[in-house]
Amino acid sequence: MAQQITKLGRSFRYEEEVIPYLKPAKPSRYTPDFILDNGIIVETKGRFETADRQKQRLIKEQHPDLDIRFVFSNSKQKISKRSKTTYADWCEKYGFKYADKFIPKDWFEE
């Protein structure tokens, strides 16, 4: 991702900002993968495990002003062997934008 952003001549910050959030009864911290120069937060995921999904829902609840998006290696991947739900389905259900493999160029222009 860093190479793609740099190649496009754009600036970004990588894992330098820490965003506090609360897990039920437990203060926690979230360090985004990438923050684009327009403020969009990009999380890159190969596997999108239950703990990751729970964390992102809590952060969205507690920080509705943040624009967190995902770039998956494969958004059609099922969230578990027993589920029909894909990573893309989960994002659509909870209101997260997502893409596969690369950050869409239009995300840089927003």
Which CATH number belongs to the domain containing residue 39 in this structure?
Answer: 3.40.91.30
DSSP 90-103: HHHHHT-EEEESS-
Nearest to 48 by CA among 71, 64, 22, 66: 71
HSE-CB of 35 using CA atoms within 13 angstroms? 12
Contact 86, 79 (CB under 8 A): yes
Note whether residue 62 is domain-resident.
yes
Domain interval for residue 50: 2-96
Give the C-alpha separation, 36 to 34, whole Å: 6
Weakly modelled stretches of the chain, pLDDT under 70: none
Q: Residue 62: its pLDDT value, please?
A: 94
Q: Residue 38: its pLDDT value, please?
A: 97
Note whether residue 109 is domain-resident.
no
Nearest to 88 by CA among 68, 101, 74: 74
If one counts the domains in the chain, the total is: 1
